[in-house]
């Protein structure tokens, strides 16, 4: 049985196949009671595709009070098949359709319990409850929302009578009525209908009209104030679904205030998700929307450098790369963690003393603090010979360029030792350093790989072709947003943000894009690195 994908949720309602079902049971608890009748109606676009109805032998006596309500007796179900014999054909009837029911939770609980006992596959279908829909769309019009009351007051063609198929027919009529009423809320697709119960009760539901005309395509959207000020910029693979989610599933505290201030929503369709991501980045930096916390200021590149102009090399952090460096990194803290990772694994000196190429050793009379604690070599005082220290510096350079395992393996071993000693906070600190180092090296490799590839072209699953040159897109709907900007550090930072955006997009879509042409080599001969991310228990 196929589980509906995210793309299916955007299907026009006239193209959606609904399977409206109802069950009769021996009681109200799925753990203690059993199914006595199954009924279902399959419809699409208002046309009935088929029906399914059968009594079910529960294998136990039906309580008198249930017989009084449903009219189903022990004698009536005696020749009927068991639920195990009914399920295979019933699941085939349901197929990949959207399951609909009135108070559907009750029916699904019994159905899932029967499936678990039978050992069959669980239902992964999208589902829809007409009870929740009715409560939103008919609020204030009905004394209660029981199926019988709704069918009577709305004069539905079929009236329920506590028999499965008859009740399924009544629920089908109700579904069609509610879909017609839902058009006033801008409902056009399955996702709109599924989200409607929560959207209709949203305090800002009256602003749903602002989403009218939103396409189901990738692009960017902007929430604007009454004065036209951009309050928030976002990107989406499906503009309609994403923007309307602010009125339903998005529970972030800032969203409520954002919607209160919003008087207009504008959008722009992009050829690809990559184009949307880059356009979002540029618009955030241009408008500085106060509800956007990320991306408002370009990242200042940071580099971890091993000095090559000193007699005793040491690690430093700066905004420009060096002959031996790791970067660019987006934050100072990330750079500090990389330095701590290297210093934890290799005894490179930690002092800030500059030792020029012509300096006479020793330059200080006593070892520095790290030298006294044994956490770092101290060649400045003569506690470590220059030859021994240069071997340490050579290993550090090798770890930063070609063999990161010289750092990662000691850190991994230290994590294991600390964890075995139940020093979990210290182990977590080592893990963070290892993760920062591995991520920095991996990011540097990916950026270098994309730049070394020169000019290359990829094709997305939608058929759009994107040309990337030197790590920056040149076509595919992104040319106008990646042109030159003001020179200097700001442009360097913006270039880093955009290059990282391209690299992450390529990583996420490696299996979904096709390389059409490439000047250089778009691959890395080096093995993947561990991410050291904590795993859920």
The dihedral of CA 418, 424, 430, 434: what is its sign? positive
Choose the final residue of a domain: 370, 405, 421.
Answer: 421
pTM given for the model = 0.62
Task: Tell how strand 514-518 and strand 230-236 pair up.
Answer: unpaired
Are residues 212 and 283 located together in one domain of the fold? yes
Are residues 35 and 150 located together in one domain of the fold? yes
Q: Which helix (H) or strand (E) holds 480?
A: none
Task: Tell how strand 35-44 and strand 302-306 pair up.
Answer: unpaired
Are residues 261 and 116 located together in one domain of the fold? no
What pLDDT shows up at residue 195? 80
The CATH number covering residue 211 comes to 3.40.1440.10
Residue position matching structure tokens 């009740």 = 167
Say how far apart CA 24 and CA 161 lie, in whole Å: 11
Are residues 211 and 335 located together in one domain of the fold? no
Q: Which helix (H) or strand (E) holds 269?
A: strand 264-269
What pLDDT shows up at residue 297? 76
Task: Tell how strand 98-101 and strand 17-25 pair up.
Answer: parallel
Q: Catalytic residues, which ones?
A: 162
Range of the structural domain that residue 248 is part of = 204-287
Q: Is residue 69 in a domain?
A: yes
Q: How far is CA 296 from CA 265, 287, 289, 443, in A?
A: 20, 8, 8, 22
Choose the final residue of a domain: 260, 287, 314.
Answer: 287
What pLDDT shows up at residue 489? 40
What pLDDT shows up at residue 3? 40
Number of domains within the chain: 3
For the chain, 537 residues long, the average pLDDT of each consecutive 10-residue run is 43 91 95 96 95 96 95 96 96 96 96 92 91 90 95 96 97 96 81 77 72 88 94 93 79 81 93 88 91 81 93 93 91 94 94 86 84 84 90 95 93 94 94 94 89 87 82 62 42 73 86 87 78 66
Are residues 280 and 319 located together in one domain of the fold? no
Say how far apart CA 445 and CA 468 lie, in whole Å: 17
Are residues 30 and 137 located together in one domain of the fold? yes
Are residues 40 and 178 located together in one domain of the fold? yes
Within 10 angstroms of residue 121's Cβ, the number of other Cβ atoms is: 9
For residue 392, the number of C-alpha atoms closer than 13 Å in the C-beta half-sphere is 23
Are residues 119 and 234 located together in one domain of the fold? no
Taking only the tens place, the pLDDT of each residue in 278-293 is 899 889 988 999 999 8
Are residues 167 and 275 located together in one domain of the fold? no
Is-cis flag, bond preceding 362, omega within 30? yes
């Amino acid at each position: 049985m196929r589980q509906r994908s995210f793309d299916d949720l955007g299907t026009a309602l006239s193209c959606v196949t609904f399977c409206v079902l109802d069950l009769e049971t021996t009681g109200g608890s799925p753990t203690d009671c059993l199914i006595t009748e199954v009924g279902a109606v399959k419809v699409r676009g208002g046309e009935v595709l088929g029906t399914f109805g059968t009594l079910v032998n529960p294998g136990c006596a039906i309580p008198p009070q249930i017989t009084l309500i449903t009219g189903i007796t022990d004698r009536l179900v005696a020749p009927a098949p068991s639920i195990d014999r009914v399920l295979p054909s019933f699941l085939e009837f349901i197929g990949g359709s959207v399951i609909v029911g009135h108070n559907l939770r009750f029916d699904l609980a019994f159905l899932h319990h029967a499936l678990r006992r039978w050992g069959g596959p669980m239902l992964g279908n999208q589902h829809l409850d007409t009870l929740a829909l009715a409560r939103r769309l008919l609020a204030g019009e009905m004394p209660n929302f029981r199926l019988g009351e709704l069918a009577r007051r709305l004069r539905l063609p079929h009236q329920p009578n506590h028999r499965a198929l008859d009740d399924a027919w009544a629920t089908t009529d109700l579904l069609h009525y509610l879909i017609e009423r839902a058009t006033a809320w801008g409902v056009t697709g399955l996702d709109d209908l599924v989200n409607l119960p929560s959207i209709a009760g949203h305090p800002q539901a009256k602003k749903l009209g602002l989403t009218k005309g939103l396409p189901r395509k990738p692009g960017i959207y902007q929430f604007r104030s009454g004065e036209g000020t951009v309050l928030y910029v976002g990107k989406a693979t499906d503009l309609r679904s994403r923007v309307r989610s602010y009125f339903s599933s998005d529970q972030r505290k800032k969203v409520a205030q954002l919607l209160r201030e919003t008087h207009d929503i504008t959008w722009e369709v992009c050829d690809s998700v990559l184009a949307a991501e880059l356009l979002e980045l540029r618009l955030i930096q241009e408008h500085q929307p106060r509800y956007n916390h990320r991306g408002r200021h370009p990242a200042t590149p940071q580099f971890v450098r091993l000095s090559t102009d000193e007699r005793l090399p040491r690690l430093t952090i700066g905004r420009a790369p060096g002959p031996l460096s790791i970067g660019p990194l987006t934050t100072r803290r990330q750079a500090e963690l990389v330095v701590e990772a290297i210093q934890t694994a290799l005894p490179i000196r930690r002092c800030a003393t500059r030792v020029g190429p012509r300096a006479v050793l020793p330059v200080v009379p006593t070892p520095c603090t790290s030298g006294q604690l044994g956490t770092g070599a101290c060649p400045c005082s003569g506690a470590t010979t220059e030859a021994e220290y240069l071997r340490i510096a050579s290993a550090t350079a090798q770890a930063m360029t070609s063999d990161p395992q010289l750092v990662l393996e000691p850190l991994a071993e230290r994590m294991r030792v600390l964890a075995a000693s139940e020093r979990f906070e210290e182990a977590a600190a080592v893990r963070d350093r290892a993760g920062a180092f591995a991520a920095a090296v991996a990011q540097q490799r990916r950026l270098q790989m994309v730049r070394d590839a020169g000019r290359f072209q990829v094709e997305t699953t939608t058929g759009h072709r994107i040309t990337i040159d030197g790590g920056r897109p040149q076509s595919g709907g992104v040319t106008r947003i990646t042109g030159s900007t003001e020179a200097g550090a700001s442009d360097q930072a913006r270039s880093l943000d955009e290059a990282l955006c391209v690299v992450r997009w390529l990583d996420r879509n490696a299996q979904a894009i096709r390389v059409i042409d490439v000047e250089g080599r778009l691959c890395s001969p080096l093995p993947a690195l561990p991410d050291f991310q904590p795993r859920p228990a």
